Amino acid sequence: SSTALHEGSDSSFSLTNLFGGGGAATASPNLRGKSGGSGSKHPSVRPHISPLNRFKKGQDPVQTKPTSELLPSHPEAVSGVIESNGMPYIILPNKSPPGRFEAHLQVFSGSADELEPQQGIAHLTEHVAYMGSRKRERLFGTGSQTNAYTDFHHTVFYAACPVVTPRGNIPMLPMALDALQDVMEARVETSRLEKERAAVLSEMTMVNTIEYRVECQILSTLHRENRLAKRFPIGKEVLIRNWKND
C-alpha cells in the first residue's frame, strides 16, 4: 500500500508517527465505490508498475521500462519510504483550493487479484473496512469528505479536509491519517458485514442498466485475452450472498 498527500500546509508532519509504529457510487464497471486457498501460485500474479515509480525511478524490482521512458517527476513532489514498515509516500503541494488537503491511502490490490470464487470480495472488503472505521467519524462536522473505491488493480481510501478544524484551529492532517490507518485495522463484525453486503447488492441493482451492461461488454471485448474481462469489481451476486464471516 502507499499513501499520497495533496496539501497546502506544512509538510513536515511525520508520517512515521501515524503509520510507522508497528463518493458517490459510480456506474462504471471498472470502478466500484460506495454511497455511504491453495498452495498453488495465484493466477493473477503479474508485474505491477506502481505509480510511485514516476517519483522514485529505477527502484521498483518489477519495473519493465527503462527510466528514460518514464514520465518525468513532478518538480514539487516529495517522496520517500517509511523505514519502519516500508510504506512509500508522496507529498504534492496543491494551492487550489486553498486551505485544504487530500490524503489517499492506496492498496495495490483489486478485483483482478481475485480467484474465481472470490469475485466481489475486494469491493465488499472495501465497504466493510471503510464503514467499520470509528475514527473516521471524528472527521464529521469539520467540512471533510471521505470515501473509498475499488477498481481492477487498486483499492483506495481517501479524506479531503480543511487544514485546520473550523472550531479551535486544530490541525487535521494527523486526524485524517489516523482515520486512514484505522480503516486498515477495522474488524469484520457480523453486523457490519451484513449491512455492507446489503449495500453492495443494492448497488448492483442500481447500476444494472443498459448503459452499464454495454460498457461491460465493451471492456470484456477489449480485454478478452486477460483476466479483466471476467473480474469486474462489482463481483458476482450469487457469491456475495453466500460468503460467511469466518
* 3-class state of residue 16 by DSSP: helix
DSSP classification of residue 171:
B
Which residue from 231, 208, 206 is spatially nearest to 220, judged by alpha carbons? 231
| 8, pLDDT greater than 80 | no
Q: Give the other-Cβ count within 10 Å of 166's Cβ.
A: 11
Which residue from 102, 133, 109 is spatially nearest to 123, judged by alpha carbons? 109
The answer to whether the bond into 97 is cis (omega within 30° of 0) is yes
Contact 70, 57 (CB under 8 A): yes
Residue range 150-203, pLDDT digits in tens: 999 999 999 999 999 998 899 999 999 999 999 999 888 899 999 999 999 999
- Fold of the 2-242 domain: Cytochrome Bc1 Complex; Chain A, domain 1 (3.30.830)
**Cell numbers at residue 190, please?**
457480523
Please, which residues have CB within 8 angstroms of residue 9's CB and are 6 or more apart in sequence? 101, 163, 171, 173
Q: How far apart are CA 195 and CA 122, in angstroms?
A: 16
Question: Quick one: which H or E segment has residue 145?
Answer: strand 145-151
Global confidence as pTM: 0.73
Burial class from Cβ neighbours inside 10 Å (0-12, 13-18, 19+) for residue 129 reads buried
* pLDDT score at 70: 79
Residue range 86-110, pLDDT digits in tens: 889 999 998 889 999 999 999 999 9
Please, which residues have CB within 8 angstroms of residue 218's CB and are 6 or more apart in sequence? none
* pLDDT score at 177: 95
DSSP classification of residue 68:
G
Residue range 197-243, pLDDT digits in tens: 999 999 999 999 999 999 999 999 999 999 899 999 999 999 999 98
| 84, pLDDT greater than 60 | yes
* pLDDT score at 56: 45
Q: Which sequence positions are flagged as catalytic?
A: 126, 196
Residue range 12-60, pLDDT digits in tens: 344 333 333 333 334 467 666 664 433 334 444 444 444 444 444 444 4
Alpha helices in 75-231 (DSSP H): 121-131, 173-184, 190-207, 210-222
Q: How far apart are CA 30 and CA 110, in angstroms?
A: 10
CA-to-CA separations, 72 to 52, 61, 69, 88, in angstroms, rounded:
12, 19, 9, 18
Residue range 108-139, pLDDT digits in tens: 999 999 999 999 999 999 999 999 898 999 99
